[in-house]
Amino acid sequence: MQVKVNRKGFLDMLRGVAPATPRNRSSLPMLQGVHLEARAGTLTATASDLEVALRTSLAVQIIKAGAVVVPATVAEFVKSSSGDTITITSKGASVTLAANGAQTTVEGQLPADYPVVPKELKGTDMRTIGCRKLGDAMRQVIYAVSPEDSRVSLTGLLFDSAQGAIVGADGFRLAVATLKGWPRNQEPFILPHQAAVLALKLLGNDMVLTTCKQGNRRDIALNGNGLTLITYAVEATFPDYKQLIPEKKGLTRLNVKASDLLAAVNLVVGKYKRDQVPVRLETKGGKLRVSALWNERKSLQTVPARGQVKVCYAGNYLLALLSRLTGEITLYSRTSSPGMVVQNGTTHLVMPLYVKWD
């Protein structure tokens, strides 16, 4: 293979796909590299950790078509070199990069040994979701996902086309974002957490999701910002989340500024923000009392609010929820039901803790 490529464009390619290379250096050496393929005036770069792959392409001058796997570290040479053009030449697994008088030769890998990543999705039940602000909806609910959970079904985002919803849950929290304008006749699938995180980081807000079935496996591709992310759905059945969403009738209502409540909870939990410190919310005398007890020390804050509440939540989950809310919110609650806040088309639930009240 031999190509001439714009130096900045090539550097952007390498940086674009680099997040898909494994962080663990003890993994397969092949996966520490970037697969380059020159065909029909285009250079395509692909990186994969066997669960998620990233791909991008760039128009180049091809002297000789071909493919090779280069170490991801060649980005350091590309960054430090000068000039507008880099020539990439491979002979077997040996790769030489030359730019403006500077040159380096690295030992790559033969492309035949690289994992197969489909160039495009092919299969049955092909569907596309191209809703505006798809990224916003995913970002609103991903905090509730439990990527390390032993329950495999909770390790990703549920795409429930029947409800037009994207759902995240971990057994203590539930977040449901509704979307308009996507097909309602598609079977539900679960997008892995790692893939969702990378998509939100790299692909922009108006990404397009395509999915199809390959036998018993469902493949997923997300496109945005000139990058394609390819992964496969979690093979599990998501719990029936709809039965957890309570009816507003019979629940108490509390109106409070999200920023005021967030500040109060931060103060009462102190340095235990990552722990399940019980945080009690109770209205007395027209004020909302926010209190926590840790290391036999009680901390109390009061917040202006309207309505009634008497409930207890885990401090870490309450903070994660409040940090995503803005303006005045309405908290629907009951000691035996999940607390519920609805904002910007997203329903947030947090499970209560059962405590003995004074």
Whether 118 is covered by a domain: the verdict is no
Range of the domain at 164: 124-243
| 77 phi and psi angles, rounded to 5 deg | -65, -45
92 and 178 inside one domain: no
More confident residue, 56 or 150: 56
3-state secondary structure of 351: coil
Whether 69 is covered by a domain: the verdict is yes
Alpha-carbon span 142 to 193, nearest angstrom: 8
Instruction: Record the tokens describing residue 26, joined without a space.
Output: 């003890």
In this predicted structure, the answer to whether residue 27 has a pLDDT above a threshold of 80 is: no
Looking at residue 13, its pLDDT comes to 96
Looking at residue 149, its pLDDT comes to 75
213 and 265 inside one domain: no
237 and 253 inside one domain: no
Alpha-carbon span 212 to 143, nearest angstrom: 26
- Final residue in a domain of this structure, among 89, 113, 137: 113
- What strands, in cross-sheet order, belong to the sheet with 297-304? 297-304, 287-294, 278-284, 310-314
Arithmetic mean of pLDDT, 212-232:
92
Looking at residue 2, its pLDDT comes to 96
77 and 156 inside one domain: no
Arithmetic mean of pLDDT, 220-244:
94
In this predicted structure, the answer to whether residue 296 has a pLDDT above a threshold of 80 is: no
- Residues 91-137 pLDDT 10s: 999 999 999 889 999 999 999 989 888 888 887 777 887 767 889 99
Instruction: Record the tokens describing residue 86, joined without a space.
Output: 């880099």
Nearest to 257 by CA among 160, 327, 209: 327
52 and 77 inside one domain: yes
In contact, 333 and 311? CB cutoff 8 Å? yes
pTM of the shown model:
0.90
Whether 106 is covered by a domain: the verdict is yes
**Where is average pLDDT lowest: 22-31, 173-182, 268-277?**
22-31
Arithmetic mean of pLDDT, 6-33:
87
253 and 233 inside one domain: no
- Final residue in a domain of this structure, among 113, 144, 176: 113
* CATH of residue 269: 3.10.150.10
- The residue count for the chain: 358
- Final residue in a domain of this structure, among 64, 81, 113: 113
**Where is average pLDDT lowest: 143-147, 154-158, 329-333?**
143-147
3-state secondary structure of 272: coil
Alpha-carbon span 54 to 229, nearest angstrom: 5
187 and 269 inside one domain: no
Place of tokens 């500040």: 263
Arithmetic mean of pLDDT, 273-279:
87
Whether 10 is covered by a domain: the verdict is yes
Whether 252 is covered by a domain: the verdict is yes
Nearest to 211 by CA among 157, 139, 175, 159: 159
97 and 141 inside one domain: no
Whether 358 is covered by a domain: the verdict is no
Whether 36 is covered by a domain: the verdict is yes
Nearest to 117 by CA among 43, 220, 42: 220
261 and 343 inside one domain: yes
In this predicted structure, the answer to whether residue 274 has a pLDDT above a threshold of 90 is: no
197 and 230 inside one domain: yes
Looking at residue 311, its pLDDT comes to 94
In contact, 230 and 262? CB cutoff 8 Å? no
136 and 109 inside one domain: no
Looking at residue 183, its pLDDT comes to 66
Whether 33 is covered by a domain: the verdict is yes
148 and 102 inside one domain: no
In this predicted structure, the answer to whether residue 282 has a pLDDT above a threshold of 90 is: yes
Task: Give pairs for 78-83: CB < 8 Å, separation 24+.
Answer: 78/7, 78/10, 78/11, 78/14, 79/11, 81/7, 83/7
In contact, 256 and 289? CB cutoff 8 Å? no
- Band of residue 279 on the pLDDT scale cut at 50, 70, 90: very high
Looking at residue 336, its pLDDT comes to 84
Alpha-carbon span 199 to 237, nearest angstrom: 23
- Residues 159-216 pLDDT 10s: 998 888 999 999 899 999 988 766 666 789 999 999 999 999 999 888 999 998 888 8
As for how many domains the chain has, the answer is 3
DSSP output for 103-125: EEEEE-B-GGGSPP--SS--SEE
